Chains A and B, each alone.
Chain A
Amino acid sequence: MRVPVEMPRLGYDTEVGKIGSWKAKVGDAVTAGQPIGELETEKATVEFEAPTAGTLVEIVTAAGSEAAVGAVIAYIDDGK
């Protein structure tokens, strides 16, 4: 099943997030909780984690791009 990875909310007053970089690439096996990328904010770079174990099958939001909080930024196939 393809599990969506959503853009997390970073701070109460932000509605969009910016992907700084992807640490995992399409085809990589990931574990639940593994940091798979970084978000850039005004104050810090924040790591975000894989919500489930599986294979990163699609990156929707490329590094350097922004997405709304809650938007799907990638998919992980959990093999179930």
Chain B
Amino acid sequence: MEKPGRTPVTFTPMRAAISRRMVESKSKAPHFYVSTDIEMEAVIAANNAINEGRSGDDRVTLTAWIVRALAQSLAAAPALNAVWSGEALERVDAINIGIAIAIPDGLIAPALLDCANKDLPTLSAELRDLVARTKANKLRPAEFSDATFTLSNLGAFPVTQFTAIVTPPQVAILATGKSEARAVVRDGVVVARQMLTATLSADHRAVDGALVATFLGDLKSRLESPAGLA
């Protein structure tokens, strides 16, 4: 019996799947959260230089830089590139970064496969292709199943920072907000710098705070001194 002024919401299979996975994650995986602020001035300058003469779909996105840096940081912190197999934890050699993509009535995080062995322009092109094929329902089984870590980037929205829920069977997810000018202190002086806040949610069964802190410090260094990324 419907109550006046209320509309019952029927769950689509998509919403039911998200609901089941998120309840499973939050009830089984003890989450903890670690954040860092990353100065993006150098990456933005390097990206502008790379995009000189490129147009449209050929342009490299900031997300591609983040994925590139993440792949290198995950290679240095293999404990975060792992999945549960039942009650057992397995580290995975391939770095397959799931990219959270909003689709009608939900979201999906298909994997950008083998990120460690791809250069920046390749990652940028494949990211664009992955988003297009996700929206066109043309994902491949491995992309659907084999992510080893997830990036949720809400930088296209006016979001300063947020925390995400780990995607089972993975053990960590990085949530990034918008890169924006903020007042920071450099050499004792308050100055404006493009800053981005990244928050890692991790499964405390699998990893501890010091490891996550080291990982975030490594990611921050790679993005703040991006010569090794291009």
Contact = CB atoms under 8 A, between A and B. Distances in A.
Contact of A9 (B134, B137, B141): B141
Given A11-B145, A12-B83, A44 B13 contact: no
Interface in B1-28: 13-14, 16-18
B169 interface: yes
A41 B103 CA distance: 14
Interface residues of B, number: 21
B89 interface: no
A44 B16 contact: no
A10 interface: yes
Nearest to B142: A8
A38 B138 CA distance: 9
A77 interface: no
A80 interface: no
The binding surface of chain A is classed by DSSP as: loop
A31 to B, nearest CB: 15
A8 B169 CA distance: 17
A45 B137 contact: yes
Interface string A35-57: 10011011111111100000000
A33 B76 CA distance: 32
Contacts of A46: 137, 139-141, 144
Interface of B: 13-14, 16-18, 83-85, 103, 106, 108, 134, 137-141, 144-145, 168-169
